[in-house]
Structure 1
Amino acid sequence: MTTPPAPFDPGAVPIREAATVALIRDARVGGGVEVFLQHRVPTMQFAAGMSVFPGGGVEPRDYRGTRAWRGPESRWWAGRFAIGEERAAAAVRGVARELFEETGVLLAEPETEPEPTPSGQPGHAERRALDAGEGDLDGLLAQHGLVLSAHLLRPWDRWTTPLGPPRRYDTLFFVAALPEGAEPDAVTSEARAAEWIRAEDAALAGTLGHLGMLRPTLHVVSDLATAANVGEVMEWPRTIAPGGN
């Protein structure tokens, strides 16, 4: 006689650490800011078919990093998100890694001025390797004489998946200004397409149901819709609820 499977227990679902980033630039037409949205493939285990920001799980390799970055130290990030310093540092590295893996945008700059190392910028092969779990962000940056540009990031929000779904995440939301000369792409197996869209238009489309969005994504784009430009976004003071929304 076959033993029936145990009933699903929502309370037993582990809450995983995650980080995501709203990549923004000044709108080309109409004022305000544009945000880079990915439209996920319908086969994803989480947020299938939804319009989302680049991001993903914070991994053990993100915790192993020790390389200094340019921008606020881990204690500052920890205070903004109401988390420990180790997790804060891992999230900064993790969100930068995910952004590079999913869009090709690397938040990094030469370690020494004025010229970068002769090895140049990381290419598609290194991006694919990182996405496949090979190596880590610190090693990649060290190889190319680069440092993480954490000053281009801002802490924005924190959301925890409510009880019920089979996957739950405690997600730290960042905003990042698009580095000069960079351009994101949609070369990722997780998205069927991606686009720049004015935050105001994205918020309206999400509210009307023309774009499928989880509540946190819609909340962030609605906030960004009120900004006049990227500079204003990067200067906004943020109060993030401890423990997430």
Structure 2
Amino acid sequence: MPTSEDQHGFNGARLAATVLLIRDGAQGLEVWVQERVSTMRNYAGMTVFPGGGVDPRDFPPKVWNSGDLWAGPSVISTARRMGTTKYKAHALVFAAVRELFEEAGTLLAIHSDGTPVADATPYHGERLALESHRLSLTDVLRENDLKVRSDLLTPFARWVGSSASGNMFDTFSFLAVAPEGQETDGDTSEASDAGWLSPRLLLEGWRVGLVRLVIPTYAQLLELARWNTVSEVLAATELADVSPVIGDPVEDPRYRDFFHIKRLDRIGEP
């Protein structure tokens, strides 16, 4: 059974998960991003990856078979890779799968016969119920005889920091490749716009004031921009460092531009 410590991140921060969904586009590597609506409590107006806080229901039940609703590398091996307990690993993977489905319509799951979900649109009703918290991901999986695919999520980074509203988050980031056959969409109340874009183009948009980024998103886009294809990303990040980055890394030379360039915010200009 998870302890109270399992349910919180570094120094009591709220656990969160985000997913960098990537694909090979016509002009090279692309990542799915969304611009959060201005009414959001955290990161309003920012361009972010799909993600959000861990729901208590993302943790395993009291009576828990580690293979229940889970396919791929075991919870224990995933926990070792992430540097967490098995309870946190379960919750974070479930949160990542849930948030990606809620915000991008992409479901990283398989049917009971082992075939991957090739079309997530039949589960649109459940998607809306997840977003409104009427159902948990566990409910959706059980009702549709599905399991999450942990092999489709590669731990990528971990950032600990606060939003502009002062809420502390311990956020684990995962890489995922867009599943073949599934159509990604931005049909979520949390985003005013969404789509596939080049990491390099997003960084250029930030430099000229047309994209708003927080440091974890900026840093991870900077990392993605090093590669041209999905296969290059996966090969290079198979053993990515997921030790936590705590606070703003102002002195890190990799992020000098983020903290020292003076930019004009041109969003909304005619």
| Among 229, 238, 241, the residue aligned to 1:239 | 241
2:126 corresponds to 1:130: no
Q: CA deviation at 1:243?
A: 6.5
TM-score by length of 2: 0.77
**Partner residue of 2:45?**
49
Greater relative contact order structure (CA < 8 Å, 6+ sep): 1
Change over 3 Å in CA distance of 1:71–1:209 after alignment to 2: farther
Could you say which residue in structure 1 is the equivalent of 2:20? 22
Question: In the alignment, is the contact (CA less than 8 A) between 2:69 and 2:142 conserved in 1?
Answer: no
Letter in 1 for 2:181: G
Partner deviation per Cα, 1:132-176 (whole Å, 9 max, x = no partner): 112221221222222212211110100111598521111111111
State the AA in 1 paired with 2:214.
L
After TM superposition, the structure 1 stretch with the greater mean CA deviation from structure 2, 234-243 or 182-191, is 234-243
Match for residue 107 of structure 2?
106
* Conserved? CA contact 2:69–2:147, under 8 Å: yes
C-alpha distance in 2 between matches for 1:172 and 1:113: 27
Give the whole-Å Cα distance in 2 for the aligned partners of 1:181 and 1:102: 18
Q: Does 1:192 align with 2:188?
A: no
Tell me, which stretches of 5 or more residues in structure 2 are unaligned?
1-10, 248-270
Distance 2:162 2:109 in 1: 34
2:59 to 51, 58, 63: 63
Report % sequence identity: 38
1:93-148, Cα deviation, whole Å (9 max, x unpaired): 011001111111111122215698xxx96422111111111222122122222221
Specify the alignment match of 1:3 in structure 2: none
8 A Cα contact 1:20 1:171, kept in partner: yes
* Aligned match of 2:261: none
Equivalent residues of 2:81, 2:155 under 8 A apart: yes
Q: CA deviation at 1:244?
A: 4.7
Q: 1:63 to 1:34 in 2, by over 3 A?
A: same
The runs of at least 4 consecutive aligned structure 1 residues that moved more than 6 Å come to none
Q: What 5-or-longer segments of structure 1 have no aligned partner?
A: 1-12
Summarize the Cα distance change of 1:162–1:45 in structure 2 as closer, same or farther, 3 Å threshold.
closer
Give the secondary structure class of the aligned counterpart of 2:45: coil
Do the aligned partners of residues 63 and 221 (structure 1) sit closer, same or farther apart at CA in structure 2, a change above 3 Å counting? same
TM-score by length of 1: 0.85
Q: Measure how far apart 1:72 and its partner are.
A: 1.8
In structure 2, relative to structure 1, the CA distance for the partners of 1:148 and 1:163 (3 Å cut) is closer
Given that residues 82 and 243 in structure 1 are in contact (C-alpha distance below 8 angstroms), is that contact kept between their aligned partners in structure 2? no
Q: Find the counterpart in structure 2 of residue 149 from structure 1.
A: 149
**Are the structure 2 counterparts of residues 187 and 121 from structure 1 closer, same or farther at C-alpha, using a change threshold of 3 Å?**
closer
Paired amino acid for 1:143: E
Indicate conservation of the 8 Å contact 1:62/1:90, yes or no: yes
Residue 35 in structure 1 maps to residue 37 in structure 2: no
Count of aligned pairs between the two proteins: 228
Superposed CA offset, 1:51-71 (max 9, x none) = 000010001100035524222
1:191–1:81 CA distance, 2 compared to 1 (3 A): same
RMSD: 2.3
Match of 1:85 in 2: 86
1-side partners of 2:154 and 2:183: how far apart?
Answer: 19
Structure 1 residues 242 and 80: CA distance shift in structure 2, 3 A: farther
| CA–CA separation in structure 2 for the residues paired with 1:98 and 1:163 | 18
Distance 1:125 1:244 in 2: 38
Contact kept in structure 2, 1:81 and 1:242, CA below 8 Å: no
Worse overlay, 212-221 or 197-206: 197-206
Closer, same or farther: CA 142–163 of 1 in aligned 2, 3 Å: closer
Aligned to 1:73: 74
